[in-house]
Amino acid sequence: MQRTYVNKAKAGEKIKIDGWISARRDHGKLVFIDLADTSGILQIVFTPEDKELLSKADTLRNNDVVEIEGTINERPEKMINEEIETGKIEMQATSLNILNQSETPPFEINTDGREINEEIRLKYRYVDLKRKRLQKNIRKRHQFIQSARNFLIEQEFIEIETPLLTKSTPEGARDFVVPSRLQTGKFYALPQAPQQFKQLLMVSQFEKYFQVAKCLRDEDTRGDRQPEFTQLDIEMSFVNREDVMNLNEELIVKTVAENYPNKKILRKPFPRLTYAEAMEKYDTDRPDLREDKDNPDELAFCWIIDFPFFEKDKNNKWTFTHNPFSATIPEHHQMLMDKKNIEKITAAQYDMVLNGYEIGGGSIRNHKPDALKKVLEIIGLKEDEIKENFGHMLEAFTFGAPPHGGIAFGLDRVVAILQNEPNIREVIAFPKTGDGRDLMMGAPSEIKEEQLKELKISYVPNRNEAI
């Protein structure tokens, strides 16, 4: 007999169902259980006609994994449960196979979980993920990403994977590094974003690229951040700023409408504010434009444009405000090439903001090597440093780099807002703590001395500083 999912059960059928016990109720000579699988919940009744079967059912506990065969019947009218999809039917069991028994869970999973200490939830995340709220979050995340993917494919974008082992270059955050066993003394870096690879794909004549990409940044503890997060990464050739913004606004509007029809987008097209206007009016470049900030179903999108390209760092040296690969707005290109009025140079940068959070950012890029080199010179890189860190990009741009630009959306943040969750950990299957610890796996952890010797790495005991 083939397995049937709970939500496909129909009155009159004899079926087999596999799943988890989510509840058990003893009613005199009857035992009722709620069986859960990926599709929903079905009530199953064990009757006294088969005493051995009833006795076996009496041993069941929550989270036990079982295989049950039986007949689907219509429930008596007074027993109908309108709150679940299968509320008008139930199964009368004829056989029970206990596939695996469960220990008592470390916490209750039939609540929304907000009352439970988060570190305990993260330590037992595989249990925590059983709760209905997190099941819904992860499934809605999948659906949102799939909708975005379908939209882009319809627009003739192609999905291309880029490497996770790459080169360390100064892009604004600290890299995670990976020692090479075969190249002694050398290290890979995990990508902060696929930025350089997606631009190189434009050189390679893949005019429309996207990727659901893992990004990794070794940042200090910063509230609602994760050392690894997921971007919807997009790049396009032969475009200007308006082309990129218009397409991605359409993507977001259609994807939200498809997955969250109850949400109201307050203004379409999205309002546009310059960085200067946003700072003057709202004192932030991530303004919350909702009319009622207590209404979670209001979505106030806006674009922030015309960012300063450069700013002074704590050492009073010029640095980029977003990334070094942006182009200027067309009228400021010559200022960049002359390296004059640096504080006035405006980047062809655009951020999408939702309800007070930046959810995506991008720019038109410098596609000519001399313009990119000027940016690197302004931020203080010497000739040898430019060649070492970005020589591969400068060389690639001499082989027919088209005008191009793109954007990257922070998928964790977008889904968290749409799911009305307070932080991104609630929409990530296996998140880490704010300080980057994986309490479930026990990472980061020490590695064996043999591994260190193989990698030719030693460290200062008690200080954990590589030398």
Reading the chain (467 residues) residue by residue, the pLDDT tens digits are: 788 999 999 999 999 999 999 999 998 789 999 999 999 999 999 999 999 999 999 999 999 999 999 999 999 888 899 988 999 999 999 999 999 999 999 999 999 999 999 999 999 999 999 999 999 999 999 999 999 999 999 999 999 999 999 998 876 678 999 999 999 889 999 999 999 999 999 999 999 999 999 999 998 766 678 999 999 999 999 999 999 999 999 999 999 999 999 999 999 999 999 999 999 999 999 999 999 988 989 999 999 999 999 998 888 999 998 889 999 999 999 999 999 999 999 999 999 999 999 999 999 999 999 999 999 999 999 999 999 999 999 999 999 999 999 999 999 999 999 999 999 999 999 999 988 999 999 999 988 989 988 888 887 766 555 44
Query: Per-residue DSSP letters for 354-396?
Result: ETTEEEEEEEEB--SHHHHHHHHHHTT--HHHHHHHHHHHHHH
Contacts of residue 47, Cβ cutoff 8 Å, sequence gap at least 6: 29, 30, 54, 92
The number of beta carbons lying within 10 Å of the beta carbon of residue 175 is 20
CB 156 within 8 A of CB 208: yes
Fold of 126-427: BirA Bifunctional Protein; domain 2 (3.30.930)
Residues of the chain with CATH 3.30.930.10: 126-427
This prediction's pTM: 0.92
| Amino acid identity at 17 | I
- The rounded distance, in Å, linking the Cα atoms of 385 and 388 is 5
pLDDT at 114: 95
Between CA 110 and CA 113 the distance in angstroms is: 8
**How many CB atoms lie under 10 A from the CB of residue 268?**
10
How deeply is 198 buried, as exposed, middle or buried, from its count of CB atoms within 10 A (0-12, 13-18, 19+)? buried
Q: Where in the chain is the domain with CATH 2.40.50.140?
A: 6-100
Provide CATH code, domain 6-100: 2.40.50.140
Q: What is the pLDDT of residue 467?
A: 47
Q: Which residues pair with 20 in a beta bridge?
A: 36, 65
Length of the chain, in residues: 467
